[in-house]
């Protein structure tokens, strides 16, 4: 790890030393809010991580490698601590990393400060003796392997352990020679199952991505999460078409489109089930939750850092936590769900079963085991959900 005071980092022009910072490496930071101030490190390696301090008075920084720039936002609530941004992957060889004060900020931020704590280089080792060491460099699109745990304080009473990479073994060499720009957009793929189903037709789900830090600090005008619209720090990737394999494992279906909120844009599933999380900043800490078309929403992973591209850690297997049926679409409310499992759902399923038959609207509401028949087996799935976890998350 290369500390902010390492002589290999050159600063221009008005950076100040900040000392006795609990949680920071060597308890130090180097801080500036002067436009175009830079911290520069020349290094040899294949991947860089930059640790910056987050706080209310922090602005945005550009992280620039060999001229390719990525903007990061270091605004955070009080006692946010220090956060790793990266990986910024490059081809093997010599590179220049610049952290630049751009004097831009999140509307919630009170000032423009950028505060550098430390840098890590993998796949080569810079003059400063970074963590890379002796391993074979990993490919530019591969995440660091042989992971090392790192404690990052995220609040006054809590800590979070994430894996931030290590340089021991290295991933397989890439084919092709392109070098991705630093930063970018995260992609995820996920496998899920449905509880108690007999058949597995295509279904639609919602992926909810929550920025756990931004969630804590809503703008005054921002309303809370409703079942239909995202709240502070949240993104809804809605109406994702999921297709099951012969083992009943669903993945996002190639070539289908989905809707993104906020912003009301659309995306397309590509590359074997990968979703591009447009709008979601990389290098930040998220929880991911999935809600099915007749199911409650379940948090599948918490405290996960999303990185650029199809990082291998972002191909999730969530099949151990099957989606539970119960929050059924209500025909008297535009066939919307309300994110609550209660007597209304019981009554909707009960009346659909009593009507019987194979009316598509009734099956859409209440056929919780997807076998095309409405009967007590569907009610059994609902009562199982009621007995365990009635509402979303």
* Residues near Ca ion (CB under 5 A): 3-4, 24-26, 28, 117, 327, 338, 340, 345, 367, 369, 371, 373, 378
> What is the C-alpha to C-alpha distance for residues 307 and 285, in angstroms, rounded to an integer?
10
185-191/315-317 β-pairing: parallel
Show the DSSP H helices in the chain as ranges.
Answer: 343-355, 360-366, 376-388
> What is the C-alpha to C-alpha distance for residues 369 and 375, in angstroms, rounded to an integer?
10
268 vs 358 by CB, closer to Ca ion: 358
| Listed residue (2, 11, 59) closest to 33, CA to CA | 59
169 vs 343 by CB, closer to Ca ion: 343
28 vs 385 by CB, closer to Ca ion: 28
| Listed residue (234, 252, 256, 232) closest to 243, CA to CA | 252
Q: Is 14 left (phi over 0), alpha (psi -120 to 50) or beta?
A: alpha
Shortest distance (Å) from residue 392 CB to Ca ion: 9
- The whole-angstrom distance between residue 36's C-alpha and the CA centroid of its chain comes to 30
Shortest distance (Å) from residue 364 CB to Ca ion: 12
Q: Which residue is nearest to Ca ion (CB)?
A: 28
> What is the C-alpha to C-alpha distance for residues 208 and 250, in angstroms, rounded to an integer?
17
Shortest distance (Å) from residue 19 CB to Ca ion: 9
11 vs 316 by CB, closer to Ca ion: 11
4 vs 73 by CB, closer to Ca ion: 4
Shortest distance (Å) from residue 134 CB to Ca ion: 25
296 vs 311 by CB, closer to Ca ion: 296
Shortest distance (Å) from residue 303 CB to Ca ion: 23
Q: Give yes or no for a contact between 125 and 45, defined as CB atoms under 8 angstroms apart.
A: yes
Taking residue 201's Cβ as centre, other Cβ atoms within 10 Å add up to 11
285-292/297-305 β-pairing: antiparallel
Strand partners, 297: 291
Shortest distance (Å) from residue 21 CB to Ca ion: 7
Q: Give yes or no for a contact between 123 and 135, defined as CB atoms under 8 angstroms apart.
A: yes
73 vs 367 by CB, closer to Ca ion: 367
Shortest distance (Å) from residue 256 CB to Ca ion: 25
> What is the C-alpha to C-alpha distance for residues 16 and 7, in angstroms, rounded to an integer?
15
Shortest distance (Å) from residue 254 CB to Ca ion: 28
16-18/29-32 β-pairing: antiparallel
102 vs 339 by CB, closer to Ca ion: 339
């Amino acid at each position: 790890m290369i500390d902010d005071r390492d002589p290999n980092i050159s600063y221009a022009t008005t950076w100040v030393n900040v000392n006795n910072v609990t949680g920071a490496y060597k308890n130090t930071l180097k801080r500036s809010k002067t436009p175009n101030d830079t911290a520069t490190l020349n290094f040899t390696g294949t991947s860089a991580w930059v640790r910056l301090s987050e706080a209310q008075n922090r602005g945005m920084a550009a992280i620039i490698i060999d001229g390719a720039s990525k903007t990061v936002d270091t605004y955070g609530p009080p006692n946010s601590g220090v956060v790793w941004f990266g990986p910024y992957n490059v081809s093997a060889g010599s590179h220049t990393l610049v952290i630049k004060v751009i004097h831009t900020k999140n509307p919630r931020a009170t000032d423009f400060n950028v505060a550098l704590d430390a840098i890590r280089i993998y796949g080569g080792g810079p003059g400063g003796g970074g963590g890379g060491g002796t391993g074979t460099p990993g490919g530019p699109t591969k995440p660091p392997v042989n992971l090392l745990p790192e404690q990052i304080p995220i609040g006054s009473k809590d800590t979070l352990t994430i894996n931030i990479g290590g340089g021991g073994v290295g991933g397989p060499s890439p084919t092709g020679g392109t070098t991705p720009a630093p930063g970018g957009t995260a992609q995820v793929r996920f496998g899920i199952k449905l509880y108690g189903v007999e058949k597995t037709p295509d279904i639609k789900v919602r992926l909810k991505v929550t920025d756990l830090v931004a969630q804590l600090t809503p703008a005054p005008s921002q309303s809370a999460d409703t079942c239909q619209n995202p709240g502070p720090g949240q993104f809804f990737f809605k109406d994702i078409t999921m297709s099951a394999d012969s083992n009943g494992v669903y993945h996002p279906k190639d070539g289908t489109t989905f809707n993104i909120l906020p912003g009301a844009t659309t995306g397309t599933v590509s590359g074997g089930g990968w979703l591009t999380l447009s709008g979601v900043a990389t290098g930040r800490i998220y929880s991911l939750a999935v809600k099915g078309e007749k199911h409650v929403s379940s948090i599948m992973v918490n405290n996960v850092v999303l990185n650029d591209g199809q990082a291998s850690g972002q191909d999730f297997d969530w099949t151990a936590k099957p989606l539970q049926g119960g929050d059924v679409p209500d025909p008297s409310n535009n066939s919307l769900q309300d994110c609550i499992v209660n007597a209304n759902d019981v009554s909707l399923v009960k009346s659909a079963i009593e009507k019987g038959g194979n009316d598509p609207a009734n099956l859409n509401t209440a056929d919780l085991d997807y076998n095309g028949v409405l009967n007590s087996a569907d009610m059994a799935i609902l009562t199982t959900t009621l007995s365990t976890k009635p509402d979303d998350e």
